[in-house]
Amino acid sequence: MDEARLVSRLAELTGLLSPAEGTPPEALDRARRLLAEALLNSQSEPMVDPSSSSPVTTNIDTLPQQTVDDLRRIVHDAIPAQRDRSLRIFRRTWPLLATHIPQSEPAWASGWTLESSIGPFESAEGDLVWFDIRRTATPVLLIDSQTERPLISLPQAALPDSPVNVGVTILDIPAGSIWLAASLFDSNSPAGSFAGLR
């Protein structure tokens, strides 16, 4: 994504937002930086609920010059910076997290632990907006030694950094999801599919 397109996209998502009461002013800058990073990473998951009414179309020419300068500075800093490819972000327009409300939690994030939320911000229409941050994690697969099929997928943080003593069978599994091979529960499940626990 080129610099002009990135500035334009940030303007669409945040140009008419301002920190709501109780939200620190620097929170909007942080949200914009994370959005720029996710956009540069080509986040494939939608950042806004496609079924909701779109935010007011924001043309960069109609924004205050200070806002345009802020967006350009953020983009200028973001393009050469090292990026975290695990970042996923969603522009939430519902005050509570609820899996059955698309403006609250997108289908792609169902069952996915929220790392943090930034906001609320107030839109030009007076609505409240939050940016929800999630990150992907590289899983560790435990494999059946006889069939060589994956049985369990654990967060990488669940395993110790150094070798363990023989006979140690206790793992401290952090908060998050554990995924088990679906075939353990249903022999008709598709090959390579997993069932999650929350």
* Domain housing 11: 3-135
Mean pLDDT of all residues in 144-150: 85
Same domain for 93 and 159, yes or no, is no
Identify the domain boundary among 135, 159, 179: 135
Same domain for 28 and 125, yes or no, is yes
Same domain for 44 and 12, yes or no, is yes
Mean pLDDT of all residues in 99-120: 87
Same domain for 131 and 157, yes or no, is no
Q: Is the pLDDT of residue 129 over 90?
A: yes
Kind plus residue range of the DSSP H or E element containing 75: helix 65-78
What is the per-residue pLDDT for 175? 61
Alpha-carbon gap, residue 97 to 88, rounded angstroms: 16
Q: Is the pLDDT of residue 119 over 80?
A: yes
Question: For the chain, what is the domain count?
Answer: 2
Same domain for 102 and 26, yes or no, is yes
Same domain for 71 and 120, yes or no, is yes
Same domain for 23 and 115, yes or no, is yes
Kind plus residue range of the DSSP H or E element containing 78: helix 65-78
153 φ, ψ to 5°? Answer: -115, 125
What is the per-residue pLDDT for 143? 86
Identify the domain boundary among 116, 135, 154: 135
DSSP sequence for 18-51 = EEPTTS-THHHHHHHHHHHHHHHTT--S-SS-TT
Same domain for 119 and 186, yes or no, is no
Alpha-carbon gap, residue 129 to 4, rounded angstroms: 24
Same domain for 114 and 184, yes or no, is no
Same domain for 131 and 169, yes or no, is no
Same domain for 55 and 89, yes or no, is yes
Same domain for 88 and 65, yes or no, is yes
What is the per-residue pLDDT for 103? 87
For 32-54, how does the pLDDT look when each residue is reduced to its tens digit (9 = 90+)? 999 999 999 999 889 988 776 55
